[in-house]
Chain A
């Protein structure tokens, strides 16, 4: 009798252990139904993954992050185990306790030491890590090479003579407008993306929108430098007239459409979005160039950030670890082994098949061996002339070139700046100083609330 009881207990324990190891991962990063090529690639990843982790069940659960669905899904516990968010979101999601603290899981794999420090900061709060990067980005200037050719703005080897400074950009844009009828530059002024791009422009004019003075964060929206930057935008509209028809209706997505369809010749964009003008909007893969953001009187800077993978608050530690292992197979983890190399290669090959420029990533990880393997995989599938990209990569590699967004209440800052942009591109008589004074007055209390508690 006693023996039977012990045997029963033992059996139960074993069953318990086995079921504890059985993990289901709802994969929110699964491709959407229409992307057959991407799905085939992921099916390959799952096979590869299950060979090593047979106890993990991968459930495809395509989820495209959207602000109108996110909270309901999070509150009802229906978020997938791993999902991709926008670079604007991590701090908001952390503050709302929607996402899981994955410090232990990431540290167990040793990934925290291999993450680009700035990117790590974007995904952390109070020393705790809440996400891993899909990739990082640094803004550059995207160029529609066909329009430059039409305007005669190419050198002997057919490379675009792109503007190195914002002054040059105005003139180049004018030439393009005069010769081709297309807009020279697509400026965003519909939503916060307008202010986001603008901060990068304004830095080159010497503006710095938030600074710490005597332990207090102070906004600096109405400085002479910021005024000069806004005046420049105003000139683009009223002096040079090189913008698209209605900047107040241009957002991140329409900007790529204007560029990709040849309605605009230049647009601020990053290396992680090269699929947008090409695959999404039909620009020939060889007709896109990515060059450095032009310099201003006070220097040349590129705004950098990272796109996160995050995990819902109710995910278990085992689920998170399993999902992180899946990233290894995808080649999105700072590891080099046969699996990750195969993943990197499959990803690069897939991009090539889809007509996406296969260009180097912006390193979200710092592990040299991984970066080398990643570069090798990308080189193998290269489908563009790297001379159209080299200057960009050289610029962002320079010391002091990269800047992350302003540290506090960035979205509120962008909202205020966007309103100023809207005013100067719709009103020829707009008073730049007065507009920025108002923006300053509006923003300081919001900054106080966020930073000076």
Chain B
């Protein structure tokens, strides 16, 4: 094997729909694999909150965009010998292909480790790839590649409706869809061509089973399939949108091995070195099949396969890229047997997607061939029923499993079954309740009857359980069967005690718990050992099941376990940042001589890698399951403050059951979380907050609003549709919003608070020890209040905040820390107008911005917090935010292009799916790098501006002037054009989309004549003019950068006026 000393690894950038945390996992594994070989690793990834961008994982880290431009500059500077392209999703792969095609790889004599680029290109061009497969007698769907819409229409004659239209070279199904008519075909093709110059028109295989294989090959042509997976939903629903089970459940041996064999033939033919994913459609009435997709890289599915089997796919793939053979590597679970084997599972796993479609305005709830989900969970068990019920709880959408949920209102079951939405599985439950049979549901859904029969079994158990009153007459066998079928104690409370209010109180749950424990009905801990117990394995990868009679491990009862609760499914508002926090807590726990124990169930994370902790329970973060584990582990304590809101919400409940929590007391957490208690406390210590009131009737809402004055922020507790929160500026908006979206009653109160305009938002991230702040970081939002902190662009250290403001913020934070006796991480959000400071929120846990400030400051807040929580004496660090002479900017990543029809506008509810953090010598360099990292481009020439209300028009004057003087051509809609005229800024008047005269804003965008769209909404209310929506949506659909906030627009324009791409410094994290 040729010795390589330095390797460049491309990351995947910000988390977005279709490309999320799974690539932090795969990149981290690859970096660990290289490090083990003594290779110096250089990582490019602007996603600062990831684990992979930590110093102990990669040697040299660049928080820069993963684009050919920046990668070339880094190659020139670092002179690596090899490059890994397969570990950073489609982003890294596309970048790698560009580096290859532009000759950059050749120029710097850079060796691609793993699958050769030529082979990757072959798999990415659908037509070439189909021909390659046909050459070895492998079937693909009938497909015609076209380059014009006319050819697409013509292709329908050969293929026939229904058909599927796909854009080539796109992320997980972008610009794809089914069509049933010429008209639909024309619409779809137009959209597809906006993503790619090549579009495929294909036969529809709706109703076929969807099955995938994860295949590995080494340079000696040794191949294996790590596992196969079967989609619960038949073909037609993107695998990222589907419930997936591993291994396949409804395939015979012959089908399983036929598809396995074809997978191996494909990877051999392509010449994969490393990992490859092959997706099939399988006829449910014969062994006929089609290969529908191949990914010659690590993928979401491969991350899932790794977690499902314990086989470290990414780690092994990286080693194979270095030239190892599979037989030369060890199975990292058994440590004695080789990596050349196929895992035998003695359990099954079910993956369920997590959607957050409620967060978006206007988006369709239907799921189909393109991906909309933002995260996923994986449930492990020893029956399908056990897994699916666990999983449905894990996704955290308020459901308790498949059964015992609150009544689901479905207007038309038949159509809801045929047109799947994000709640499809619950519609099936409702159908069963209303008397539908498995066969009838099958007719509408084409979901394999086996899966439906399993769901029916759960439903039947539910019916059986409801026949009993309380636990007295409940047969132990029925209880056992219910627990084996995944019923939680909570579900049992609901079914046995009938009352709707039962279960709200944990005492009811504890009654069931005690009852079943007396009968010996308890879960057992099992290992995931890759070989179904054939060989002994010292594995720490664990799950709990009721299909068991003994624990696989021995509990020490030495009081040395520290349990860290993870963050669950990635969702809008909670993602990789909490994974970073959890992983760092685990590291400090282990370093401090304790046994680090993680509970989490998100397959896209590093915290669910069994090599980051001493014990991993891949299981639920519910009161019941955490108590099960705590009772077995008998821990030194449980950490609830590094996993975001899920563990935070468990704090009080665990405390009430006498589970020992580390860090800030649960009582304090409750004081910060409970609106009333928190207000009372702020009043007590003399800290100001915006006026608010919880109200239960319309009259009260109007009265309070008149009192504090508009605008107000409305937060209903029951939402029928649309966003949960909104800002309203006048009475009619208030009336409209409340009528449209919410129920107001004693049971569902509405919280109304005064909203402050033109106000800065400032965040305090800190760590305290018994109420005494040990370290802190203050950061500043670029946007004014009104944009959710998760969607805001944030700079650290603050650049435009009065010293007095900072002084006051520090003082208030000290007061709060002292009052709540905080021990551990916390975050306070402030509003600042002039030097008037108000507190809007306080969370006694690690925040979203903690990894960002930790990395900018090069001080690991979680390490400090964890040591404090473990009771160690911690010294205040010497460094403070005033000592650093560079700036960090954190920018949000949106996925609106995935969410067809969603209005890409920012509001009080969070909409971003990810973020980046970049460093610069000054504010403008940092912001430009950050915005380039989330997909903005420096405009070439034409900019379309609709500048919104007067406030933002004024905000934009100077920057618009900059643009004009710098030679940009401004296009403006009417009001903006007039305003520019008054201010002597040249611009071309553009008609609104609904005016059928040219130049028309929509047409200009569609014809790709615009390089940047700045569209500032008139106000933040629900009622938005269609025209503005059309412009924003067109920008997203035709892939033109869009800015909807005036302050951000100004900042961006200043930055591009100051810097060109070449001015941006190529400096690694370590060089700052």
Partners in one complex: no
Q: Which residues of A pack against B, CB within 8 Å?
A: none
Report which B residues bind A (CB closer than 8 A): none
